[in-house]
Structure 1
Amino acid sequence: MNTIQVIESIAINPDIRKGRPYILGTTLTVADVAIAKIYHGLDVDGIADWYGLALPQVYAALAYYYDHKDEIDLQIRDQIRRAETFKEKRVGSENAFLS
């Protein structure tokens, strides 16, 4: 007998994390996990340890990422752009606290 099992660890709710896909039971987005792997070079064990996740949660997030790579990459680029804009406004402007 063949059995199909669906692991539902990723959710999307417009009221949580601005509608970005996140890991159920956490506030972590799929993009957070993808950033840890791609930009910080963490392996699945490292991601699990860093964020306090179970391995199935990490694998589910990465599977979702690779299934929706273009969409999540766009979210990551937007997140980086917003961080750079915030940094420029807070650190590099004449209104910065440290100037």
Structure 2
Amino acid sequence: MATMTLDQHIEITPGVAGGKPRIAGHRITVQNIVIWCDRLGLSPDEIAEEYNISLADVHAALAYYFDHREEIDDSIAESEAFAESLKKTTSSKLARILGSRSVDE
């Protein structure tokens, strides 16, 4: 059995997951791992269990992040800016439904 190295845990494939670095064989990006860990407070063990990936995959993603921190942080910021622009230009179906109801209902 071959020993996996960091470059075997993380891959970048044009056209898959937006060409972002991801866990090999999965569509889970390094960016996802960072957000789940840093922003949502999930532990590497919780991430591995929840998403059916190895603990080594999670740590490889975090190692990749620390080696490419500016690139990943910029990607996260771009994704957040895109989401905010969508919120401003796309009306909420729930808001439309609630807005059409009268107070007496």
Report the TM-score when normalising by structure 2. Answer: 0.78
Higher helix fraction: Structure 1 or Structure 2? 2
Per the alignment, residue 45 of structure 1 pairs with 45
Unmatched segments (≥5 aa) in structure 2: 97-105
1:21 and 2:16 correspond:
no
Report the TM-score when normalising by structure 1. Answer: 0.82
Structure 1 residue 35: deviation in Å? 0.5
The alignment of Structure 1 onto Structure 2 pairs a total of residues equal to 91
Structure 1 residue 88: deviation in Å? 2.2
Structure 1 residue 48: deviation in Å? 1.1
SS at match of 2:28: coil
2 CA distance for matches of 1:6 and 1:29? 17
After TM superposition, what 4+ stretches of structure 1 lie above 6 angstroms from structure 2? none
Per the alignment, residue 34 of structure 2 pairs with 34
Measured on the aligned residues, the alpha-carbon RMSD in Å equals 1.5
Unmatched segments (≥5 aa) in structure 1: none
User: Identity across aligned pairs (percent)?
Assistant: 36
Per-residue CA distance 1:31-82 (angstroms, 9 max, x = gap):
0000001110111111112222110110111110111000000001111111
- Greater C-alpha radius of gyration: 2
2 CA distance for matches of 1:53 and 1:6? 15
